[in-house]
Amino acid sequence: MQTIVESQASFSVTDKGFYGHFGGAFIPEMLYPNVEELRQNYLAIMADPAFQAEFQQLLIDYVGRPTPLFLAKRLSEQVGASIYLKREDLCHTGAHKINNTIGQILMAQRLGKKRIVAETGAGQHGVATATVCALMGLECIVYMGSIDIERQKPNVDRMRMLGAEVRPARSGSQTLKDATNEAMRHWINNPVDTHYIIGSVVGPHPYPDMVARFQSVISEEIRKQLLAKEGRETPDYVVACVGGGSNAAGAFFHFLDEPSVQLIAAEAAGHGITSGHSAATTALGKPGVLHGSRTILMQTEDGQVTEPYSISAGLDYPGIGPLHAHLFDSGRGTFYSITDDEAVKAAFNLSKLEGIIPALETAHALATLNELPLQPDDVVVVCLSGRGDKDLSTYTKYL
């Protein structure tokens, strides 16, 4: 594995938390002690063999890892290349998010924290956080916009059943960004005993790097599984959807400095890139600071963050993580914008061809298979980030 570690050099984060022109920690002074405590400790804690042993064991026994790498034969035939699905939908709670929350709850314990705070939009990260808090017996407070609380009742009920306290954010647009503000405020006021679990590769350094490392188990497994199945560790393409970018970061991580592997990211074009209702960040965005890091984000002429839209709640984010901004900026990654309709079509297609109902987010990644210039002997891995049960009420409108 030494070659992998060495090869990470050009796309790994710098000491100050930068990926090329993006990243950093642009935070209010009040937040500095919390973020600094984490920055000074996260790498040493993650390198501790006892930490790794506990993390790896929970990934096996609790999350259900390794997740299968499945050769989708009928989809492969249709597309005209070998398509493998990395089945993160089979993780406990139905998506990749738990890989990160397991890692961060162990981190919080090592830092001596007694309470977890998190923000959630659609509720998926809130559920993954409430789950690991129940597992470890830590108090859990999840901030959620009051409009989102109404829209996402099943996830609110799940969090409550898991013992979390869901606190409504009633300011501003009463959605994710307001929940984020409230969670930050809570953390500032409770710096000693509270850890803030961020759900994607976003936020101030060291969060993007820490979350990418926890999710990198995805590409670590892909390399081993592909070697067993194809006799080679590297595919021609790795494809993933990008909201903040954590499942993509995990799927790309151990291929970042393998130029033969094309990294394909799918973002949400909503009703269309120019429709005014989209979350196509790289297509529409410009550099700016969002949630503590310099990245690419959708904004007005005078720098106000634009309200994003996507049919999938997990891609409904106005920015992307700084690693992905760098992949886009440097040309290392290729970004496709997929509309709501294209995503829904891809979801129905996979369901009927392979008997797997994907999450709406994941469906955006699947839709790129129609756009890639694939050759018959190409090997493609699609990160199947989550299962579609949560999206049934949306899908049924298209039946």
Ligand X SMILES: *Cc1c(COP(=O)(O)O)cnc(C)c1O
Residue 141 in the binding site for ligand X (CB under 6 A): no
Examine the residue annotation and report whether 345 is marked as an active-site residue of this protein. no
> Of 155 and 299, which CB lies nearer to ligand X in the complex structure?
155
Preceding peptide of 358 cis, ω within 30°: no
> Of 321 and 378, which CB lies nearer to ligand X in the complex structure?
321
Examine the residue annotation and report whether 385 is marked as an active-site residue of this protein. yes
Window 163-202: residues binding ligand X (CB under 6 A):
200
- Among the candidate windows 242-250, 286-294, 337-345, 373-381, which touches ligand X by CB under 6 A? 242-250
Task: State the Cα–Cα distance between residues 343 and 369, nearest whole angstrom.
Answer: 11
Residue 97 in the binding site for ligand X (CB under 6 A): yes
> Of 110 and 155, which CB lies nearer to ligand X in the complex structure?
155
Window 271-310: residues binding ligand X (CB under 6 A):
none
> Taken in order 37, 42, 45, 51, is the CA torsion positive or negative?
positive
User: Which runs of consecutive H residues, i.e. helices, occur in 48-72?
Assistant: 49-58
> Of 349 and 378, which CB lies nearer to ligand X in the complex structure?
349
CB 107 → ligand X: shortest distance, Å?
18
Main-chain phi, psi angles of 295, to 5 degrees: -150, -165
Residue 65 in the binding site for ligand X (CB under 6 A): no
CA distances from 248 to 96, 226, 303 (A): 10, 18, 27
Residue type, 315: L
Write out the two tokens for 126: 């809130």
Taking a C-beta distance cutoff of 8 angstroms, is the pair 84, 379 a contact? yes
Return the axis-axis angle of helices 97-110 and 207-215, rounded to nearest 10°.
Answer: 120
Window 315-334: residues binding ligand X (CB under 6 A):
315
Residue 361 in the binding site for ligand X (CB under 6 A): yes
CB 29 → ligand X: shortest distance, Å?
28
The catalytic residue among 97, 113, 177, 390 is 97
Residue from 101, 246, 278, 282 touching ligand X (CB under 6 A): that is: 246
Q: Which helix (H) or strand (E) holds 224?
A: helix 217-230
> Of 149 and 360, which CB lies nearer to ligand X in the complex structure?
360
User: What residues are annotated to the active site?
Assistant: 97, 119, 385
